[in-house]
Amino acid sequence: MNDDPYSGIISMMQTEGAKSNPPSICLGEVISESPLKIKVDELILDPDDFLIDDFLVEGYKRSLKVSSKGTLVNSGESSMSGTLSSSTQNTSGGSGDDSFASHDHAINNEATLSGACESSGQYTLDGESEVEYKGYLKKGDSLALMPMDGEQLYIVLCKVVSLV
């Protein structure tokens, strides 16, 4: 019985084509937060076995630009409390004695404002700030990972969740 020559060619094309295909995304599970360890099938990945997106790492900082304009309206009961920390301006006395040298006085007062308050007006908020991310990945979280060639190194793409 003769083999179909076309099936041999197709088989060879599939084998050779698979070598050029990128690896597929796989799922991993966080099994330890510090140090971060991820389980993929039966393989445990230590931090030197993967690269991770920086925003997933605790302590990652990013600059944030804020721009907002609008009208602020407050009509009703309001309260505010806090500590006012300030100091007097430096001043010096007269006679040249050390006790009259340039000095200031610290002012630290608790302040509370409460009561009915009505106000409205235009506001503009424009500026930059820095945001620091807290620990995001927790034990049991699912992650999407992309294995690199030879599956010696993985790239942690993101945290994934099920909506069901």
User: Which domains can be identified in the chain, with CATH numbers?
Assistant: 22-60+133-164 (2.40.50.140), 62-132 (no CATH)
The pLDDT of residue 112 is 65
pTM: 0.53
Tally of CA atoms within 13 A in the half-sphere of 112 that contains its CB: 2
Q: Find the Cα–Cα–Cα–Cα dihedral 19, 50, 161, 41, rounded to 10°.
A: 60
Give the span between the Cα atoms of 90 and 10, in whole angstroms: 89
What beta strand segments (E) does 34-105 contain? 36-40, 43-45, 50-52, 61-87
The pLDDT of residue 29 is 97
Give the span between the Cα atoms of 110 and 31, in whole angstroms: 47
Q: Which residues contact 22 (CB under 8 A, 6 or more apart)?
A: none
Spatial contact of 142 and 27, defined as CB atoms under 8 Å apart: yes
CA distance readout (Å), 107 to 53, 64, 81, 87: 46, 33, 16, 5
Mean pLDDT, consecutive 10-residue stretches, the chain (164 aa), reads 74 76 86 93 94 86 84 71 64 61 67 68 82 86 89 90 90
